[in-house]
Amino acid sequence: MTAQHTAGSEQTPPAKRRDRTHFLYIAVIVAVVAGVIVGLVFPQAGKDLSVLGTIFVSLIKMMIAPVIFCTIVLGIGSVRKAATVGKVGGLAFVYFLVMSTIALAIGLVVGNIIKPGDGLNISATAGKGAEYAEKAHEAGGTMDFVQHIVPETMVSALTEGNVLQALFVALLVGFAIQAMGRTGEPILTAVSYFQKLVFKVLTMVLWVAPIGAFGAIAGVVGQTGWAAVQQLLVLMMAFYITCLIFVFGVLGVILKTSTGVSIFKLARYLAREYLLIVATSSSESALPRLIAKMEHLGVEKTTVGVVVPTGYSFNLDGTAIYLTMASIFIADAMGDPLSIGEQIGLLAFMIIASKGAAGVSGAGLATLAGGLQAHRPEMLDGVGLIVGIDRFMSEARALTNFSGNAVATLLVGSWTHTVDKARVEEVLSGRLPFDETDMVDEETADEAPPVVAAH
């Protein structure tokens, strides 16, 4: 009885965290509705309140460099660990890189087709985007641009807010720690603790998201009227539809042709996990269950242990689609669309920086702001437009990321012959159901890396 009581008490904190998250979600919804009403009824007041959105963007901007630095450094460490298991790690990493690129490209294509922000012409002069632009464009030509990628000091890359400098230093530090071998492991541990601190601060910042969303939406609606609400709804619907097409179209076709497994049967098998993700707005909550279910499905424990945790940091298909579509929306809404060259440059940047979006809810916003700051700093204030609907799109991002990692586990298992295909058929047909009593969340969760909340 004592053991059971202890186990029950240990499960109480996660339940409280989920409750607070739901409260924040509801608060954002209320704030968005209130912002729309204020913007429609009192347009001038709505414009004045836009400063609240600008302040929230500044708070997110403050977190860009630390988020990218920590996750890139730890990500390179994860690749090194994954590579030690040989073929499984290598195939998984190549697959993650290819699928992330495809997802980013799909986001760009859909964004260019629907042009969700076209016609809004939101002014960027109301906030501080111009100041960011002036600071970022101190460099002149191409060689000056390259020169400014190298910071004056390693620390200044994290304090001056230059995203490319932070990315450059993170790559250097990551590969240096990798080359140090066992000697570098304490440094990786220290960075992981610093990352927890950064994400804790980011979580605190997110609690003012309702205020930022209220100000941003009130300002936009006050300036453009009902058109802004319609365009935001178009972006949301387009994003959800794109995610569905990606999961059941792209991933479904790849899974069927490579393994013969139906994506619909796999989705039905993981239905309970999907509900859990929707309830918590985070794929982190389903990570232990995904590991347990993939092993039950017939994939060898070693393969699952490499692909699933690494995928939670490197295989963020939903986040990739979100980053590119949101960037195009912001540029179009501000009346200054991204050129093809800028879109290609943004795609290349996001391939690397999107790995920094694996953390807590809001890291995706920081990465989005980082991409805009690196390529079009004057667009940075437009992140405030996304704040109001970011929470609405978080479930689609999390569900797509989760689906991508489940498919990746089966694919890599099939390619490395570490999956029992007969058992897969038995499980997905329902003849060998998953036994909930066999799953021990605590033990499975201990095997997971610290960076797992892919939003």
Lowest mean pLDDT among 27-36, 222-231, 265-274: 222-231
CB 85 within 8 A of CB 203: no
Q: What is the pLDDT of residue 132?
A: 37
102-111, 136-145, 238-247, 274-283 — most confident range:
238-247
pLDDT(318) > 60: yes
Handedness of CA 171, 173, 174, 178 (dihedral sign): positive
Region 73-96 average pLDDT:
70
With DSSP H G I counted as helix, E B as strand and the rest as coil, what are the percentages for the chain, rounded to 5?
80, 0, 20
> What is this structure's pTM?
0.65
Q: What is the pLDDT of residue 364?
A: 65
Say what the alpha-carbon torsion angle 185, 189, 192, 198 is, to the nearest 10 degrees. Answer: -130
Lowest mean pLDDT among 86-90, 168-172, 253-257, 436-440: 436-440
Q: What percent of the chain has pLDDT over 90?
A: 9
Lowest mean pLDDT among 4-8, 185-189, 190-194, 374-378: 4-8
The DSSP result for 68-84, as a single string, is: HHHHHHHHHHHHHHHHT
H helix and E strand count, the chain: 22, 0
The 8-class DSSP code of residue 316 comes to -
pLDDT band at 358 (very low <50, low <70, confident <90, very high): very low
Domains delineated in the chain: 48-202+228-446 (1.10.3860.10)
pLDDT(446) > 50: no
Cα dist. 449→27, 74, 197, 311 in Å?
30, 10, 16, 11
